[in-house]
Structure 1
Amino acid sequence: MFAFDVLLVGDAPSSPEVRDAFPEHLTVETVVSRFDEALSYLRENDANCVVCDHSLPDRNGIELLSAVRERDADLPFIIYTDDGDEEVAAAAIDAGVTAYVPRESASDVDRVVDRTVESARKDHVARTVDVSDPTAANLRLAQRTMDEAPVGITVADATEPDEPLIYVNEAFERLTGYDKHEALGRNCRFLQGDDTDPETVATIRQAIADDRPVSVELLNYRKNGEPFWNQLDIAPIRNDDGDVTHYLGFQTDVTDRKEVELRARRQAEQLQADRRMRERLLARIDGLVSRVTAATVNSTSRTEINERICKAVIETNDYDAAWIGTRQMTSDRIVAEARAGCGTAAEIRVLPDDTDPVNEAARTGTVVVADAGSLPESSPHRRFMPPDGGIAAIPLRYREAEYGVLVVYASQTRTLDDHETAVFEALGRVVGTGINALQNQRLLVTDEYLELVFSGGQPGPVLVELAARADCEITYKGAVSGSDGQFALSVLAAGADIDALRDAAETMPDPPELKLVADYEEGCLLEVLPGGDSLVRTVLDHNGSVRSLTAGGDDTDIRIELPGAADPSGVVQTLLEQYEGLTLASQQRRERDRNARQKVVETLQTELTDRQLETVQKAYMSDYFEWPRPVSGEEIADSMGITRSTFHQHLRAAQSKIIGELLDEIQPVTDPTSRV
């Protein structure tokens, strides 16, 4: 094993603190105490450096230095003494000493060790390099230049086992954080680490084995563990016989450039991956959404929609199973109404557990994704996916209306990524819109309807709050949708005038806007524009309508009409969450005869303009057609923001169309042949 041979002569150089300071892997120290012992050792051994005390038992250090110089003018010789003075220092310099280090403090130990190792290194280089080799000679002559070079330079001894380093310059020390003593005597592989590329290391080893130059970029590590990219160039140095005696290495920090290249490469790879992901996503959207849309549009019942959607999901081959469930009002469980790919599993139901992804999706109205490992062992979802699978719960909604949850299972969690979640969100809206349209269509043609009756008090809808705060009774007469889409509620207030009602409105968290239509002895007729949640809008979003509302104190009666085939759980849950003072008093199915008036309604919906419909609604709900009229046409026109003449023009046109259609419907059927 490579090591510098250092001869210590006398007490000061051989003291324990000096010997302990020498690097064990780099130096071999031999201790003698006398003049003649030192000369004898030097005659029989090739020492790389001598460290001598000035005071010796038989002679002194200056005399030993002179004797050494007679036989070897280049051998490094350092005097380290605690009894020297100016005269001794001058004599040592005259005799050709390499360094004179007085022993004055503890820091002098490090000084003498540093000078010794550096001197021994230089001697070793001079002795191991063939003097006749011009390259080696140039290397010795250029050593000072190498010491000051801005790039790391190393020299490794090819004649020693494992090619140990015998020279490193100061730039190498700055680059790696290792000082000379820690680097010399070791193979340069100590700079490698966990992420150093084995193939690049193999390239270096093969080049050394083939005695040829090599240039690579290698991930190395500094002494503090920090990685850096090293542009490493290695060149073999040969003697006159062509044999490689040393390896000259150059190290350059190219971390900044390499990181830019790696960043650009990663960005290019990411762009390619994103493009592939987008292509895959578009293909999935095209397949999944088109299938689900077709299933939604072509279905004639809620049951058919649910079944066809579940089949459409698994037909994409990206998902293993799917089911659609709704919440039961009695048990608060979510139970599957349709499913596909679920095998022969018994009833699928999810208990009211907030940590379950299906319950969370229903509660928050957002898509929830989870992997199998995050679910408890008792989870009902585990039977539909492998241990590394995943689940996505997709709420089916249209505005405020809730139509259940679509649950999808995938065999691999990575399928359910952020892109997939975006697809699911769009899918939930498509399905919700389709179900809402189907429910509205059924509402127009069915003779059966569902009546929900709510009772209670505060906190409640705006009319309930207003009645309680004004200590009066309010009766809802209807609603008119303005051009801005906002509903104006026409109400009759008994037991309070408009000033009292406005004072009460100001105390509400979201004060409504009140417009007086007419005054009565016991109350007034007015329009209410809600400032916050609108009961009419919420019910309409669930395919229903508010048929009546009476509120007075804690006595509230709200009647809501839904299509006979509608699921009431969505609107019930929404209203009970919005208005904590309400309770569901009853739920009944009723029938009406639509055949007699269906044609009239459809015709009027076609013939009347929006403004004409709004005008006649305003007039009717303001009791304009009663006698004596409690309100004038000018007052109604003002509430609508139009002139009196415009109001009468719209009203006459609407009346003409309505009466004409009614007369056509009720006139006697005559024999066509009797007409002239």
Structure 2
Amino acid sequence: MDVSLLHDIAPFSTEQRAMRILLVDDDEPMVELSATFLERELADAETATYTDPEPALDELTDGGYDCVVSDYDMPGMDGLELLTAAREQGIEIPFVLFTGKGSEEIASRAISAGVDEYLQKGGPEEYPVLANKVSNLVEKYWAETHMRRGFLAIESAEEGIGIIDGDGVYQYMNKAYAALYDRDRTELIGEHWDILYPDDEARRFHEEILPQLEAEGSWRGFSTGVTKDGEAVPERLVLTQMDDGGHVCIVQELTEVDALQAEVELKDRVLDAIGVGIVVTDPSQDDNPIVYCNEAFEALTGYDAESVTGRNCRFLQGPEKDPETVAEIRAALDAGESISTEIRNYDVDGEPFWNRLDIHPVRDDDGALECFVGFQRVGDRDGDADDADSP
């Protein structure tokens, strides 16, 4: 996986803490001097010093350290033997061999043993170099540790999480992502995302979803994928754009409530497409205000959802109200009944139009009135819907 694709994702940890350094050297004045210099050069450093490698190894196994700085030539256990023993116990923190007994042979052995840095002791001028190497190693170790923890969380997440590059090809996905479509991720990484969608849904992604993602930086909503065997997978999808043109996908299979909402949104898109304006009003609130309108209503009247929410629909009647029709509508609403009629309305520019209006009450399982739904189309004075705006 190309780790550069993750640069736009929030870091897995913003932890700020002191770096803890364990120094091991059988020369006590030398190890204390090294600790003093490192704490002076590194503002956030905390050091612990040992002159005997054996207790130093015991201390390391308790964890909590970010780096080891060890001499090479020590009685009982040299620096490379300490490194080997630490690695055998699963201690993977950076290890710096800081030795006064340098030679090509020791340097070669140190590299073969896997030390992270090899540095010969010298005068005080060597300590800024040592401090810089320790700082770089610890920062790299922290970053890799946070990355590993983050990917462990991603791998164990119940949600499907995937990364798609700028060409639409999967570069990474966790097991949950592939399992949602009854596939193994080895089948999908390297494939284009449209392998998981039927043709009509892939078309909606290209024409509607991806342009919105590019324009706004994110998209969330409902979609329908498909398993290898052709079974439909209703899903909730969240997409987040990355600077390189790719995007992060988070996908969940829909619950029953989600599926109902997705069905409503689908029907809403259909009604938008055929030009039927919809408003929902709440009779439990004062003056039965609008609580929802669809895009077709906005197109019909010129008013956006924000400007009409909380207002009674009568604002559309303008200055020349039709008292008889208004009274007829009000009587039906007061009785909680349906009504179909035609009324002169005015759009946002004050232009009149005949509105073919159908209002229906919506009740709960106990018969209590929950809301009214109004369907609106351009009509004519004879009460017939305009053919150009009819389904």
Q: Which of these two proteins has the greater Rg computed from alpha carbons?
A: 1
Q: TM-score, normalised by structure 2?
A: 0.33
Q: TM-score, normalised by structure 1?
A: 0.21
